[in-house]
Amino acid sequence: MRNSDDVPYIVIDQGSGGMGSFLVGALVGAGLALLFAPQTGAETQEEIRERAKKLRSAAEVRIKEAQQTLEVHLESVREELHERVDQIKEAVDSGRQAAVEARGDLSEKLDRSKAAYRAGIEAAREAGEAREGKASKGN
């Protein structure tokens, strides 16, 4: 009976591999195959051509996948950027509106304060004139 340690397994690392690692691995594999394959020169040349075609095809597929992934990321970044720009525009517009309202409120309060000041001055003047009038009648 087989032990679970005897079962072959495959490890897939989706971390940092990249195109460089892929190409290096493909070239090393092709070189080892050429060294250990008992073939004639013509057969070896044909195999090199076939492997080069496969390598090119695989590289094209990887490049297309990378382009698609990049396009997806760029689109999501664009969407997020547009959302943030819209949020900033809304915040600026809200700030402007609040400033306009605050200015209007301040202007109204200032007008009321000026009117109260004028009324106080006028009342003080009238009170002073009334005292003068009483004082002049009393003499």
73 in a structural domain: yes
Angle between helices 18-36 and 41-138 (to 10 degrees): 170
Domain that holds residue 69: 18-138
11 in a structural domain: no
What is the rounded (10 degree) CA torsion for 19, 25, 26, 30? 160
pLDDT tens, residue by residue, 72-87: 999 999 999 999 999 9
Average pLDDT over residues 89-116: 94
CA gap 111, 98 in Å, rounded: 20
CA of residue 117 relative to chain centroid, distance: 54
CA of residue 15 relative to chain centroid, distance: 23
5 in a structural domain: no
Please give the sequence-ordered ranges of beta strands (E in DSSP) within the chain, or none if there are none: none
Residue 21's pLDDT is what?
77
Residue 86's pLDDT is what?
96
pLDDT tens, residue by residue, 1-56: 455 556 565 555 555 556 777 777 888 887 777 777 677 778 878 888 998 899 99
10 in a structural domain: no
Residue 134's pLDDT is what?
74
3 in a structural domain: no
86 in a structural domain: yes
7 in a structural domain: no
The total number of structural domains in the chain stands at 1
CA of residue 126 relative to chain centroid, distance: 68
130 in a structural domain: yes
Average pLDDT over residues 115-121: 92
pTM of the model: 0.43
pLDDT band at 107 (very low <50, low <70, confident <90, very high): very high
Does position 62 have pLDDT exceeding 60, yes or no?
yes
Residue 139's pLDDT is what?
59
- Average pLDDT score, the chain: 83
Who's near 7: CB < 8 A, 6+ residues apart?
A: none
Asked if residue 62 lies in contact with residue 94, where contact means CB atoms within 8 angstroms, the answer is: no
Helix (H), strand (E) counts: the chain = 2, 0
CA of residue 36 relative to chain centroid, distance: 52
